[in-house]
Amino acid sequence: MPVEEFVAGWISGALGLVLGHPFDTVKVRLQTQTTYQGIIDCMVKTYRRESLQGFFKGMSFPIASIAVVNSVLFGVYSNTLLVLTATSHHERRFQPPSYTQVFIAGCTGGFLQAYILAPFDLIKVRLQNQTESRAQRKSTPPRYRGPVHCAASIFQEEGPRGLFRGAWALTLRDTPTLGIYFVTYEWLCRQPTPDGQNPSSTTVLVAGGFAGITSWVAATPLDVIKSRMQMAGLKQREYQGLLDCMVSSARQEGLGVFFRGLTINSARAFPVNAVTFLSYEYLLHSWG
């Protein structure tokens, strides 16, 4: 099994992640809290209360976990294509797989990474939602002191299954949308590139950026539900399941609730995924 794809997936994922984390924090807060008027208001309030640090809450853990998550995504994607088409990453430029094959490989990668991502994502979301300022932290320490403490508390208070809260919504969110992600990327790469040649860096950046946006647009409704179900163990609000969460959110806040965080998510998705794909392609290329 070619391992380069796993390593390239990890490094490129980490680069994208740091770039996008501040946007991600604003998104999570907009999706799960009702105190903000919009993106700017959320940014200003976060900055005033928590300074720049507020935007980077919950980042250390994703950095560590992206090693596993992105390498599984890209590694499984590429190895599924190898099984389906019997071509390696390098050969695929000359014998491109069909879009159906790309879609199936993307969905497979998405499905498998979702379960690994679930506990890490849960901890990220819980930490991002702690809005105490630094001064407050001294007098009353926040509920979770850091990722490890957060994981241990969830385990104790909500049981081992608590760590997988929202995992089902996450799987449903990621399986088809990662298929869309790779199809969009491949399609946009192939448009301006002559047959048998590698796409230029600009093409890779643009295709990666739009792959990120398209897949996030498709993923946002289930992303909102996922984030809410992950927070449910904390607040009084308990949902019976995914459907109950959807129905009660829509009843209380209207259908617009399913698009919460869409703008900020798209603004984040472009640079994050442009950098992810560019470094992924670059690393694989330079390893020959």
| Interacting residues with ligand M3L (CB under 6 A) | 13, 173-174, 177-178, 181, 212, 215-216, 219, 269, 272-273
Q: Which is nearer to ligand M3L, 199 or 212 (CB)?
A: 212
Q: CB-based burial of residue 53 (10 Å sphere; 0-12 exposed, 13-18 middle, 19+ buried)?
A: exposed
* Least CB distance to ligand M3L at residue 215 (A): 4
Please state, in angstroms and rounded to a whole number, the distance separating the CA atoms of residues 38 and 240. 29
| Least distance (Å) between residue 142 CB and ligand M3L | 25
Q: Which residues lie below 8 Å from residue 166, measured CB to CB, with a gap of 6+?
A: 118, 121, 122, 226, 227, 229, 230
How many alpha carbons lie under 13 Å from residue 5 in its C-beta half-sphere?
A: 17
Give Cα separations from 251 to 200, 260, 285 (angstroms): 48, 15, 50
Q: Look at residue 230 and give its three-state secondary structure.
A: helix
If the CB atoms of residues 60 and 95 are measured against ligand M3L, the closer one turns out to be 60
Least distance from C-beta 232 to ligand M3L, angstroms?
20
Cβ-based nearer residue to ligand M3L, 102 or 137: 102
The least distance separating ligand M3L from the CB of residue 137, rounded to whole angstroms, comes to 28
Report the residue number, 50 or 174, with the smaller CB distance to ligand M3L: 174
Query: Is the CB of 171 or the CB of 249 nearer to ligand M3L?
Result: 171
Closer residue to ligand M3L (CB): 145 or 267: 267
HEC per residue, 70-138: HHHHHHHHHHHHHHHHCCCCCHHHCCCCCHHHHHHHHHHHHHHHHHHHHHHHHHHHHHHCCCCCHHHHH
CB of 261 to ligand M3L, least distance (A): 12
d(CA 50, CA 277): 32
